[in-house]
Chain A
Amino acid sequence: MKKQWLSNFILAGIIRFLLMNSEYQKVISDRVEVSTALNSWKRVTEGVYLYNCGIDPYTGDLFHETPIGLYVFNFIQQHLSQWILFCLFVFTDLLTAVFLGLTAKQYATELISKQKIEEKLCNENKETRNDASIVYTSMIWLFIASFQINVSLLYIVPLALRLRHDPMLLAFSYLAIIAIFKSYPCIGDVGFYMSLLPLWKHLFQYTQQGFTVGCFMLFCTVFAPTVWYQWIYSRSANANFYFGVTLAFAIAQIFFLTDILFASVKHEFAVRHGINKDISGNTAKLLLE
């Protein structure tokens, strides 16, 4: 297991390093999907340069990092050579991967033990089933309410209440919400929560929108650069085309997140009441009404 991890990490590190030094580096760093006003390294170097020249980097509309960030970047730029800087990037990426991997492992073991305990409890008191379903329904209403109110701040509290026993899912949904509602979103934000997707493999059987969401996301990722090209370079399409595609992508993400959250509710219900997909030989489908 550890060996496989190590080989994967080395491979990933090498690919990242090669990409950084290849001719594609410029193409990638110029893509709007990758590099935004908030995370562009070019802007950071520019800001540090201005700072060193004695010009306030915040007067222009160029530099958006925090002042502490500015000091740190200044230090990095002054004391680290280009190669070490590259290695630092690769190292932080790998570190993120390690943390994500460890978290996932920890979560998986916890989930299994929790599930076993719950199943045991459920088998003991099957009589309370009716009450449970009432509570469950009212929870669903709370849930729907939390999605109806379209201010992202209002998502936080209801979700936190609802998912207080599952902080991992809560974190996941917060990450997804951030990626959806953030100004200047980039592909990294989406990639971050997507990388946690394998954690919810046990929920996939309850999801309903997999195909739609998959098609939507694929379509948007391919379609967005083409309309962007037409807007910026050939001036034949305007900003609205690209804007429309980003909206469609956000909708796909909302579908996706909702689907996962509903699936988790169904899963919880199924575990609590010991429902398997097969009831006396026939496939049962769990309906939320």
Chain B
Amino acid sequence: MGLLTDPRAGSGKIIKFLLKWERPLCFFLYISGIVWVLLLALPIFNDNTYFSENALLPGLVTKESNLEQITKQYYTYLINEMKRYPDVMPYAWLAAKLNQLHLDVFTHNFTLIYPFQEQRFTGQNIYGIIRAPRAASTEAIVVSVPFRPIHSIYLDTAPSIALLLAFAKFCRKQKYWAKDIIFLITEHEQLGIQAWLDAYHGVTSGNGGVLISGDLPGRAGSIQTAINLELHSMKIASIDVKIEGLNGRLPNLDLFNLAQNMIAKEGIRQSFQRRFDVKYKNKFKNWWYHFNTLLMMITSQATGIPTGNHGLFHRFGIEAITLEGFEKPGQQSSDGNFYQVGRIVESIVRSLNNLLERFHQSYFFYLLPSTDTYISIGLYIRSLVLIIGGIFVKAFSMWQRLQVSASTEDKKNIVVKQSKDDGFDIGIITSEILWAHICGVTIATSPFALTYVGKKLDFRTEDSIYFGFVVITILTLIWPFYFKRQMKYKNAALICVIALVELGTVLMCIAMHNFSLALLVAVIYVPYVFILPIMPKQNFTKFHRMLSFGWVSLHPFMIASLIIMCYTYVNFSSDSLPLILFRGYRAIKQAFVFSIVDSMIYGNWLYNVTISTMFPIWFLFWNILCSNIL
């Protein structure tokens, strides 16, 4: 009750403390948040992974498969077939092979109408279903492989198709399946799997009329889990387990553990983020190695782009991972080891077959610093809560200061007022906030208009979007200077308080979906927000002017461009500077188009959310920094 009725709540010691130590406290919270992230990679801060779902019974069955020879046979045939048709998927051959195994075989056609250009692309997926002999086709497991033609820029997946066929042949003879198994070979990378999943569930995940998935001629039960295979060679030296899905969603930790354990059991090296588990004796080295793995996961999750075909299953509540197999560099792929690889797939699928319920026991929110340790949400969320706590402390102390200044002003006016006029101009404040958000939504939906105008001027899509964004950025940067506006300090401060609270709320909401993105945004934006000079113009020093000018670089488009430039520089640091700049410029153009197209095809919300929330917040601060505060 004290919390509610404490009469000194408005002027208590805590508030005095907050007001006195506001800035150091904010930075203390920020830095402790960062330190917490750094500590997360320490082995004492991680728990060893364990199986939470009892029904999985991992590795308890007697494995019976020996797929080495059959896989090799299929592989030779497939390579011949692929050489005959170097640019397309050998539909007929694949369908015939699956038919020979007496599976229910279907093909699925889909069309992509490429946004902004009205070009049509078509593709085909082939899938065969083994009906469960022991159940009524109510549940299913998917084993999928993306088909890649010989001239594809990506690494070859033909060995995994051979393995899929061999495994299908093996599964056909077994009597113990309690779930249907769908063997799926998709075309055009993620487009194929997205179209297939949309068709399977009868929905459209992206914008309507972009990816036309049609209907499926045959279905199995509701899909529980999916394993995607990308084996690049007939001699697999190591297998990488990929988990990051669309919009940063992760599969249940149990599935990841299952895969890692089965790989280890068959004696193949397992890795995460293409990094093996290395134990250094030096504690610092050990931490640094784990921290880098963690950082790679965070950056890859933050983009919201799936790292493999598994990433599109997550949206439908289907747990999925990709097993990517690599050969040892410089090794001849003469004698294979698909005996082991086949057994890995067999044991995973048989464990999944044991499941009584969907995966729900273990964590959905976690970070991984290595293949056998994890950091749960309860641990990692604290870092972000500390950082966001700083934002709220800042907002609260600004608000308290406003209250105090209001009452001192009253003191000056000796006229006794019955009811205090709080001095905020609600009209100005709401219109300011409303307009900033309207701008955000307009920019988020602007690509259509931009490409329309660009087409009239004979621009390519990339160019029209990029230059459109450049124009928008320049306009948003200069318009406060053009309309030299005056604002009372009180109103400006209240707008800041609201923007701060909004920033904190938005970051927390993003964190629930994509922690990594929220963390990176918080790390970049929050310290700058703490030092922004919100004060009457006459007190401005040169330093303050520089600070407010620096806010320009945090414009969402600017910061995206900067990050991509840095990334290009890191990757091509040996090139000359103009070449790096040119590469970066092209990468920026493509990144903008891809993020927009991804949002339309797959429903990736990175672009929409950043523009419709981060932009208004940035814009509110920018307006205040540029207006003449009295």
Which A residues fall within an 8 A CB radius of B? Answer: 144, 147-148, 201-202, 204-205, 208-209, 211, 214-215, 218-219, 222-223, 226-227, 230, 233-238, 241, 255, 258-259, 262, 276-278, 281-283, 285-289
Contact = CB atoms under 8 A, between A and B. Distances in A.
Contact of A278 (B7, B10, B416, B422): B416
Contact of B249 (A201, A234, A238, A262): A234
Interface residues of B, number: 41
Contacts of A214: 501
A144 B487 CA distance: 43
Given A230-B513, A258-B4, A277-B420, A282 B411 contact: yes
B206 to A, nearest CB: 15
Nearest to A258: B4
A162 B9 CA distance: 24
A277 B410 contact: yes
Contacts of B501: 214-215, 218-219
A223 B505 contact: yes
A288 B5 contact: yes
Contacts of B314: 234
B11 A218 contact: no
Nearest to A221: B505
A44 to B, nearest CB: 28
Contacts of A283: 407-408, 410-411
B1 A281 contact: no
Contacts of A286: 7
A226 B509 contact: yes
Nearest to B317: A235
B563 interface: no
Nearest to B359: A235
B509 A223 contact: yes
A276 B417 CA distance: 8
A144, A202, A222, A282 — most chain B CB neighbours (10 Å): A222
Given A219-B504, A219-B508, A278-B410, 7 more contacts: A215-B501, A222-B509, A226-B509, A230-B513, A234-B314, A276-B418, A287-B7
Contacts of B317: 233-235
Interface string B94-126: 000000000000000000000000000000000
A39 to B, nearest CB: 27
Chain B interface mostly helix, strand, loop or mixed? helix
Nearest to A207: B10
A286 B416 CA distance: 16
Nearest to B4: A258
A230 B364 CA distance: 11
A215 B508 CA distance: 13
Nearest to A143: B5
A211 B1 contact: no
Interface string B402-419: 000001101100101111
Interface in B406-442: 407-408, 410-411, 414, 416-420, 422
Among all A-B residue pairs, the 8 with the closest Cβ atoms? A236-B364, A235-B317, A287-B7, A208-B9, A226-B509, A288-B7, A211-B399, A258-B4
Nearest to A212: B396
Contacts of B364: 236-237
Contacts of A238: 360
A278 B411 contact: yes
Contacts of B1: 144, 147-148
B173 interface: no
Contact of B414 (A208, A258, A259, A281): A281
A202 B365 CA distance: 47
Interface in B463-521: 501-502, 504-506, 508-509, 512-513
A28 to B, nearest CB: 17
A44 B502 CA distance: 38
Contacts of A204: 422
Given A230-B512, A236-B249, A283-B411, A255 B4 contact: yes
A65 B422 CA distance: 45
Contacts of B418: 276
B8 interface: yes
A205 B420 contact: yes
B315 interface: yes
B263 to A, nearest CB: 25
A74 B408 CA distance: 62
Contacts of B219: none
A281 B414 CA distance: 7
A106 to B, nearest CB: 20
Contact of A226 (B5, B365, B400, B512): B512
A116 B389 CA distance: 46
A230 B512 CA distance: 9
B213 to A, nearest CB: 19
Contacts of B396: 211
A208 B512 contact: no
A287 B509 contact: no
Contacts of B7: 286-289
Interface in B1-25: 1, 4-5, 7-11
B58 to A, nearest CB: 22
B392 interface: yes
A226 B513 contact: yes
A205 B410 CA distance: 12
A241 B509 CA distance: 12
A147 B317 CA distance: 43
A281 B5 contact: no
B358 A235 contact: yes
A236 B250 CA distance: 9
A277 B410 CA distance: 9
5 contacts: A226-B513, A233-B315, A258-B4, A262-B5, A277-B407
A201 B392 CA distance: 26
A235 B320 CA distance: 13
Contacts of A218: 501-502, 505
Given A277-B410, A288-B5, A208 B10 contact: yes
Nearest to A288: B7
A148 B4 CA distance: 12
